[in-house]
Structure 1
Amino acid sequence: MSADLLTDPRVEAHPFGNFFFADTKVLMMGTMPPTPDKWCMAFHYPNFYNDMWRIMGKVFFDDIDYFRVGDEKRFDAEKIKAFLQAYNIGECPSVTHVIREKGNAADEHLTVVATVDLSKVLAQLEQVKWIYTTGGKATEVLIALVNQSISDPASPYFNPSQTPYKLPKTNQFLEVNAFGRAFGIYRLPSTSRAYPQSLEKKVAAYRAFFTLAGILPALGS
């Protein structure tokens, strides 16, 4: 980040950062949470009206309210953290610093100032075989990082014979070779209610991914 941006009052650091362990097998990659006034907990996907933790509850425990605290309008952050660790799922935001052009977290109103050092992250996570994104902006950032690593002559992973990767469509994936390893990138639908898809279809999409990634057993197995 340039010195000018370091002093720009509009620049906001990601409040949560990475959450993963040495045995993490799958990385979840989004962008920025909403502003703190919309949080129901201090952890990733903190908006009670974002359906991430409802989807995860339904996919893994057949209970849409599995992570909800009773009848309260909040999720249990510690229960979520324990779940992520137990199922080898990590959180790795694609961005570290942004400017909210309209004061919200909508993709179209986020200016990315600094991105995650994905090479450094993956160096810590030898078992990661999949990275999945939860929105368009995160997918764009991730693919740009991958392409930069293979196209920059100064990169230790420079590979001039590799054609740049294209953005996958929602519910599609790419097999990539970057940062000295092979892994999959899977684009899942946003869990924001602003994304025009039913909760049932989102649940099905997330279930299909976690089955493919080997986190969930295949049906009938």
Structure 2
Amino acid sequence: MNSELHPLEPFLPGNARILMLGSFPPKRIRWSMEFFYPNLQNDMWRIVGYLATGDKQHFLLPGGRRFDRGRIEAFCRERGIALYDTAVEVVRLKDNASDNFLQVVREVDLAALLARIPACRAIVTTGQKATDTLRALTGCDSPAVGESVAVHYAGRDLRLWRMPSSSRAYPRPVEWKAEFYRRVFAENGII
């Protein structure tokens, strides 16, 4: 099987206080925009919209068939949210983006990412595969969903937060998932 390289550059605003790490993007055929969490079947931008404005549809373009990359990027820059994934090279064992069928070939260079966002003090993983990959890199304990653990990595003290998957394959309402994100966003001045 052929491996796949990450198709996006890290999104690292200089003021980033949190770094959100997923596992790996879906295939491009599923994208509604050229940015992180591009699949309309993923609730990440509905969760963020709900927390920031009370409206799950806030980051959708009129018609609801595409996310509004411009508004999402502006929000993340303004609020200090960096985005990337824990894997930069994977093999898809099946023709989908399910964490269960992603084999990580090469992990992210976490120290290099953190060096570019010196104000970052929290890392948020958005699923179990991302959490497991990050734990292998840092040697930290596994936090429960919605909780955090202390991590000393690359010369700084951080909190690793484990969030529920934003994928609709994880069948919970946006509002339920958002309550887990609310705490980490509030504690880090995002909302």
Identify the TM-score tier after normalising by the shorter chain: over 0.9
The match for 1:200 is: 175
With normalisation by structure 1, the TM-score equals 0.83
The match for 1:146 is: 138
Tell me the CA shift for residue 213 of structure 1: 1.9
Residues of 2 paired with 1:59 and 1:72: CA distance?
19
Are residue 186 (structure 1) and residue 161 (structure 2) matched? yes
The match for 2:20 is: 28
Asked if the contact 1:17–1:93 (Cα under 8 Å) also holds between the matched residues in 2, the reply is: no
The match for 1:219 is: none
With normalisation by structure 2, the TM-score equals 0.96
User: Which is higher, the Rg of structure 1 or of structure 2?
Assistant: 1
Correspondences of 1:89-168 after superposition (within 5 Å): 89-147=81-139, 165-168=140-143
Structure 1 gap ranges (5+): 1-8, 148-164, 217-221
Tell me the CA shift for residue 196 of structure 1: 3.4
Tell me the CA shift for residue 71 of structure 1: 1.4
Tell me the CA shift for residue 18 of structure 1: 0.4
SS in 2 for 1:80: helix
Asked if the contact 1:17–1:96 (Cα under 8 Å) also holds between the matched residues in 2, the reply is: no
Structure 2 gap ranges (5+): none
Question: Aligned letter for 1:180?
Answer: G
SS in 2 for 1:183: strand
Identity, in percent, stands at 39
The match for 1:169 is: 144
The match for 1:52 is: 44
Question: Aligned letter for 2:171?
Answer: P
Residues of 1 paired with 2:115 and 2:171: CA distance?
36
Residues of 1 paired with 2:32 and 2:12: CA distance?
22
Q: RMSD in angstroms over aligned alpha carbons?
A: 1.2
Question: Aligned letter for 1:15?
Answer: P
Higher-RCO chain (CA-CA 8 Å, sequence separation at least 6): 2
Question: Aligned pairs, how many?
Answer: 191
